[in-house]
Every structure is written in structure tokens, then in C-alpha cells.
Amino acid sequence: MNVIGIILRKVEDTLHLLGCLCLVVIVVIINADILMRLILGEPVQFQFELTELYLMPALATLSLSWVFRDGGHLALDFLPEHLPGLWGTAVGKLCLLLPSAFFFAVAYMSGKSALNAFMQGQTHFGVVDWPLGWAYAAVPLGCGVLAVRLLYDALQR
């Protein structure tokens, strides 16, 4: 399992880096849009669509697993973190397996939508004709890796 853990960490680190880069790109293009409107009276035409379709979903989902692994997630705890005995182990595993099943379902359904968008060549017509398959791909990727992380952590208990 150690090799799987190392690979999973590298994937999470890479996706987190991509998510952070999306935030940087959002900041740069929004500020460029503001400055160009102010100075030149001309907006960055593609800014809104790029941010809405590609950057925000990637920013919201690619770092999910890294944030969970790092303990930075928000949680509503109604049980102590570690319960003693066999029941404690079972409850701890269940608290990881149930969200893992949920995120696998989200990854599966959103992955079907992304694959469908790729196969049908769906596009969003705007200033630029944006291919929607790539826009939809971040959600199944981020949620799928989080589901694997939750499953991996459950099996490590």
C-alpha cells in the first residue's frame, strides 16, 4: 500500500498545484480586464467565459484531496475523532467510506457528462467557442482523486 500512497500524494500535489495556478490565472486576467477597461476602454473579451467554464471548477475541485489529506477541510463533528475498540474502528472506517462512495458517485456522473461532451463535441458559443469536455473534466478528476484518498485512508485504519 505504501507505493499507492506515494503515487496518490504525487497526484494530489500535482492537482493542487494546478488548482493554485488556476487561482493565479483568475487574479491575473480579472485584473488585466479591470486595467484594460480603465486605461484602454476595452475589456478582455474572453475573461468571464474562461473563468466561469474552466478556472472556477478546476479551482474548486482539483485541490479537494490535497486539502483533505492536509487536514484543512471543514467538518461538522458529532462524534469524538477516535472511539476506542472495534466499534471505534468500524465507525472511523464508515466515516471515510460513506463520503468516498458519495464522491465516487459524483465523479462517475460528472465523468459521464464530460465524456459525453467530448464525444459529441459540445461547445459553448461566446467570444471564443469553448469546448465543454475540458470544462467538465476537472470535476470528475478532483472528486475521483478525493474518493480514492478517502478509500485509501479507510483501508489504512
Domain residue ranges in the chain = 2-156
Helix axes 85-120, 132-156, angle to 10 degrees: 160
pTM here? 0.89
Half-sphere exposure of 119 (CA within 13 A, CB side): 6
Which pLDDT score, from 0 to 100, does residue 78 have?
Answer: 59
Task: Please answer whether residues 61 and 142 qualify as being in contact, where contact means their C-beta atoms are separated by less than 8 angstroms.
Answer: yes
Residue 92 has pLDDT above 90, yes or no: no
The pLDDT value recorded for residue 128 is 86
C-alpha to C-alpha distance for 71 and 126, rounded to whole angstroms: 39
What's the distance, Cα to Cα, between the start and end of the chain in Å?
Answer: 12
Check if the beta carbon of residue 47 is closer than 8 Å to that of residue 62. Answer: no
Residues 45-79 have pLDDT tens digits of 999 999 999 999 999 999 999 999 998 876 656 56
pLDDT tens-digit map of 103-134: 999 999 999 999 999 999 999 988 889 999 99
One DSSP character per residue, 15-30 reads HHHHHHHHHHHHHHHH
What is the rounded distance in angstroms from the CA atom of residue 5 to the CA atom of residue 3?
5
Phi/psi region, residue 101 (left: phi>0; alpha: psi -120 to 50; beta: rest), is alpha
